[in-house]
Structures are given as structure tokens and as C-alpha cells.
Amino acid sequence: MSSFIDAVSSQAFMQNAIIGGILASVACGVVGSYVVVKRIGYLAGGIAHSVLGGMGIAYYLGRPPIEGALVAALVFAVVLGWVSLKMQEQEDTVIGALWAGGMAVGILFISQTPGYNVDLMSFLFGNILMISSDDLLWIAALDTLILVIVFLFYKQFLALSFDEEFARLRGIPVERFYLLFLSLVALTVVILIQIVGLILVIALLTLPAAVSGHYVRSLNLMMLLATVLGVFFTTGGLALSYQPDLPPGPTIILLAGAFYLVSLVITRFWKRA
């Protein structure tokens, strides 16, 4: 543990990793809470995984993968949102097809890219230890954008996630706000890919909010506690993985997953008692 603290105080990459984790936790606490209460984890998973298509194409074209991720995430958010609004009977099948199709496109483009394919693993599993100062600026900018939109349309997002039918009857353009909301999910996914990679994104997006939801009585508090938990999971995962030299992404996820399971058991037992 003390060597971890030494590393944090002396190594720039460790400081970046900690700051990256904190910044990502803001987006994941706020947007993840909506994903959990609206129960669209599967849809969010579809957005997260299909993003590999965009990253692969960007990689093939010699552009930074994050640019491809951003474009692909927003496109898939709108496409999947449209599917879930218009094709409710087959929603899960279509999401599954786009989920796998997006990944397949990504793998094909990566395989056709000349040179050594070193980055594939870091796309899939992320590497919080590789976060640069530029990445931090990106994440901070996306965080700011997400927070501004959530503050502006707090009421509409609350109404949409709580009772869509009533929101529609009050004259709220529900479809438009749903697509806007899925775009926020897309931005959050892009942020979180930097931390844990796209395979594990969905866990970091939902687990802090789900644990938080066990204890709080309002959506605002749920977001706040989820953010604090996110900081705890990312920093704690980094610390645990440092000494035995484990990959930090999976360590972060396992820490969050363990907390979720323990919390689930405790709250179940508590409610019954």
C-alpha cells in the first residue's frame, strides 16, 4: 500500500490515472443512475460494444481511436434509440445484432491495419495507467458537457425516466429527450472506455449507481453517492492492482462487483429482518 502511495506522489502516470478515475466517476455516477432507474443497461451495453466499429475504422485510417469512438457512440446511440422507440417487439434482437455487428466491423478493420496490432487489448480492456494529460482534458470537457445538459433538462430527464407516459401527456417531446439522453450515455461510454475498456464499461456504468440505489431516497443523492463510489472503486482498484502488478481495469470491476453483491445481500437481509 505504501508503495502505491509513493507511486502516486512521485509518478505523473499514477496521478493521471487517479484524476482520470475521479473525472470518469462524475459521468458514470450521473448518467449511470439514469441508466439504472430507467433499466436500459442492455441498450447501454449495445452502445458500448458497438463503439469498437468506430475505433477500428479510426485506427485503420490512422486517426486517434477516441475520435472514432465518439462518432460511433453517438451514431449507435441514435440508431439504437430509434430501434427501441419504433421496434419494441424486436428491440432485444436488434440491439444484439448491432452490438455484435459493431464489434465485428471493428475487428475486421483492425485486422486489415498494417503493422503490429498492439492496441486491440487496450481498446477492449482499457488501460487507466496510459491516460495522458490530453485524455484528461477530453474527459473533463465531456464531463462538463454532460453536467450542463443534465442541469438544463433535469426535470425532463427525471420525468422521462420515472413515467414516460405522463411526461408525454404534459407535452414533453419524449422521443427527442430520449435520444438526447442516449447521447449522454454515448459520451459517458467514451469516457469510461479510457478507464476500463469497452468490454467492462457496462459494469462501471451501472454498478456504482446500483449500489447507491440500495441506500438513497432521491435521484440526486443517488447520483452523488454513485460518484463517490465510482471514485472509491477506481482508486481502490488501482491501489489493489499496483503491488501484484495486475491489470487495473478488471481489478476495478471486480472490486465494484464484489461491493454490489455484498450490498445486495445486506439490503435484502435487512429489508426482510
Partner 1 sequence: MSTDSVIKIKNLDFSYGGPKILENIEIDIQRNEFIGMVGPNGSGKTTLLKIIMGVLTPDKGSVKVLGNPPSQSVKEIGYMPQFAPFSRDFPISVEETVLMGRLGKTSSIGFFNKADKRAAEKSMNDVEILDLRKRVIGSLSGGQLQRVLIARALTCEPQIMILDEPTANVDMKVEKDIFDLLKQLNEKITIIVVTHDIGFISQYIHRVACINRTLICHPTSELTGETIENMYGSHMHMVHHHHEDEKK
The residue ranges that bind partner 1 (CB under 8 A) are 37, 39, 151-156, 158-159, 161-172, 213, 216-219, 221-222
Whichever of 4 and 153 has its CB closer to partner 1, that residue is 153
Q: What is the rounded CA–CA span in Å between residue 28 and residue 206? A: 8
Q: What is the rounded CA–CA span in Å between residue 205 and residue 188? A: 8
Shortest separation between residue 193's beta carbon and partner 1, angstroms: 28
Q: What is the rounded CA–CA span in Å between residue 149 and residue 186? A: 14
Q: What is the rounded CA–CA span in Å between residue 187 and residue 139? A: 9
Whichever of 38 and 49 has its CB closer to partner 1, that residue is 38
Shortest separation between residue 156's beta carbon and partner 1, angstroms: 8
Which H or E run contains 70? helix 65-86
Shortest separation between residue 166's beta carbon and partner 1, angstroms: 6
Q: Are 27 and 188 in contact (CB under 8 A)?
A: yes
Whichever of 134 and 163 has its CB closer to partner 1, that residue is 163
Q: Are 257 and 211 in contact (CB under 8 A)?
A: no
What is the chain's Cα-based Rg? 19
Shortest separation between residue 155's beta carbon and partner 1, angstroms: 6
Shortest separation between residue 233's beta carbon and partner 1, angstroms: 20
Angle at 44 between CA 41 and CA 45, to 5 degrees: 85
Extract the C-alpha cell encoding 93.
434482437
Picking from 46, 49, 36, the residue whose alpha carbon sits closest to that of residue 81 is: 46
Shortest separation between residue 82's beta carbon and partner 1, angstroms: 20
Shortest separation between residue 145's beta carbon and partner 1, angstroms: 16
Whichever of 66 and 229 has its CB closer to partner 1, that residue is 229
State the helix-helix crossing angle for 65-86 and 91-111, rounded to 10 degrees: 160
Whichever of 212 and 234 has its CB closer to partner 1, that residue is 212
Whichever of 147 and 221 has its CB closer to partner 1, that residue is 221
Q: Give the dihedral of Cα atoms 94, 96, 97, 100; nearest 10 deg.
A: 160
Whichever of 61 and 152 has its CB closer to partner 1, that residue is 152
Shortest separation between residue 208's beta carbon and partner 1, angstroms: 14
Q: At a CB cut-off of 8 Å and minimum separation 6, what does 31 contact? A: 146, 150, 184, 185, 187, 188, 205
Whichever of 234 and 263 has its CB closer to partner 1, that residue is 263
